Amino acid sequence: MTTTKNIVLASSSPYRKELLNRILDDFICESPDIDETPFPDEEPVEHVARLAEQKAMTVGINHPESIIIGSDQICVLEGKILGKPHTADKAIEQLQACSGKTVNFYTSLCVLEGGKEGQDLSVVITEVKFRELDKGEIERYVKREQPLDCAGSFKCEGLGIALFESLSSKDPTALIGLPLITLSESLRKVGVQVI
């Protein structure tokens, strides 16, 4: 059964929009305006799940009869959340800190169906093992790909993949920003067939 409800992606991320376009042709995007500051003593998985749910619920107020998709992602190195770098210097600093280490990416997903109680909320963890990187290659990478709006300071769908020794995830697109395997399952639960 295919739903006739509108689908809204609660995001202004061009990466999430591009990913959602892989499985859906017809949806709109609306940017949620929320405070993404972690609560005191909030664990990373709790933080990222809360943000996905809050984004979906905030946008859902304007679209009560729609299916809302909220998502968020954080990068965690040695228990510390690494935000988007926004500057080349900060990106270089983040990648130097990640060199030779394992970094966890938490990508959350919340799907709300307007007019119904509850939501489908999940978090996909991707483990990335960075190879040993020298400062010169980090600087060349940042200059070439400009990953200033990306958690972890890289774009794995581009040249950033060359920074890794390995990665492990049950949902490969989660690392780009939207876990499509998980999302497809959530959409099927609310009557949206993507195939």
Measured in degrees and rounded to the nearest 5, phi and psi for residue 18 equal -65, -40
Q: How far apart are the two ends of the chain, measured CA to CA in Å?
A: 11
Just list the catalytic residues: 72
What three-state secondary structure class fits 24?
coil
What three-state secondary structure class fits 108?
strand
Q: Which residues pair with 75 in a beta bridge?
A: 82, 105
Radius of gyration (C-alpha) of the chain in whole angstroms: 17
